[in-house]
Amino acid sequence: MAASLPGRLADGTPVRAFAEVDSTMRLAREAFAAGETGPLWIVGAIQTAGRGRAGRAWSSEAGNFAGTLLLTLDAAPALLGTLSLVVAVAVAETLEEAGVPGLSLKWPNDVLAGGAKIAGILIETAGAGGPAGATRAAIGIGINLAHHPEGIAYPVTDAASETGRAPAVADVLAALSARLRARIAEWEHEGFAPARARWLALGPQAGAMLTGSGPAGPVTGSYDGLDPDGALRLATPSGIVRITAGDVIPAQET
């Protein structure tokens, strides 16, 4: 796969492709440390030691997509908490374009197909120095295109299982890069509102019973949308609880 990827995409983003990596996110950190400012994609045909949120292992076989986009963002610090939601929207839109049915979003940054996880996102940010507000971001994305892991504690799937064929990694990378960079540019200039509207359309059904991590521990309530800062709202007998960290799952899974 590495040999089949272009050195530069149609949207102008350079690509560094590897036949096998332990973690594209680790290579992204090294690139930033060496002075890289992006935009730049680092992609591995096979990823052996990737990780997701909370340090969870996330390996990737050949035929799946594992990549990290390096960017220097021009966004207000208050916006950064919504970036993972914007990225999730772009990933879902890319899979929608590839013909994957039944797509939805799980707060804060998982993409589901038919209720099973098909893609995950991990973002690391750091101050870039220089212009006020500039932030370096490494946006790691894993998409199950041809395979999905077995023995996982939650439902997982892949594009081939959902559509009967696996999209080519090169095609997904090109579409994802264009979609992601457009959504991020929109977010930098217009704020979270446009992507928030799309997230709400793809997110849980209004009133769905969910359990999340509240300030005083787990809290269960009915889904009441997203606040403008990206916090998920749960309506409980004692009022609205804002979920700002951790996982949110259907209440019956607790």
**pLDDT above 90: residue 100:** yes
Distance between CA atoms of 86 and 28, rounded to whole angstroms?
A: 20
What local confidence, expressed as pLDDT, does residue 1 receive?
55
Opening angle at CA 120, ends 139 and 178, nearest 5: 50
**Domain 2-202 annotated CATH 3.30.930.10:** yes
- Per-residue confidence at 45, pLDDT binned at 50, 70, 90? very high
Please state the pTM of the whole predicted model: 0.92
Dihedral pair phi/psi, residue 217, rounded to 5°:
120, -170
pLDDT for 190-229, tens place per residue? 999 999 999 999 999 999 999 998 877 899 999 999 999 9
State the CB neighbour count (10 A cutoff) for residue 72.
Answer: 16
Q: DSSP letters along 112-130, please? A: EETTEEEEEEEEEEEE--S
- Per-residue confidence at 64, pLDDT binned at 50, 70, 90? very high
Taking the domains of the chain in order of start, what are their residue ranges?
Answer: 2-202, 209-253
CATH of domain 209-253: 2.30.30
Extract the tokens encoding 18: 């590897």
Q: What is the helix (H) or strand (E) element at residue 84, kind and residue range?
A: helix 83-97
All residues at 6 or more sequence positions from 67 whose CB lies less than 8 Å from its CB, including other chains: 24, 41, 42, 43, 44, 140, 141, 173
**pLDDT above 60: residue 132:** no
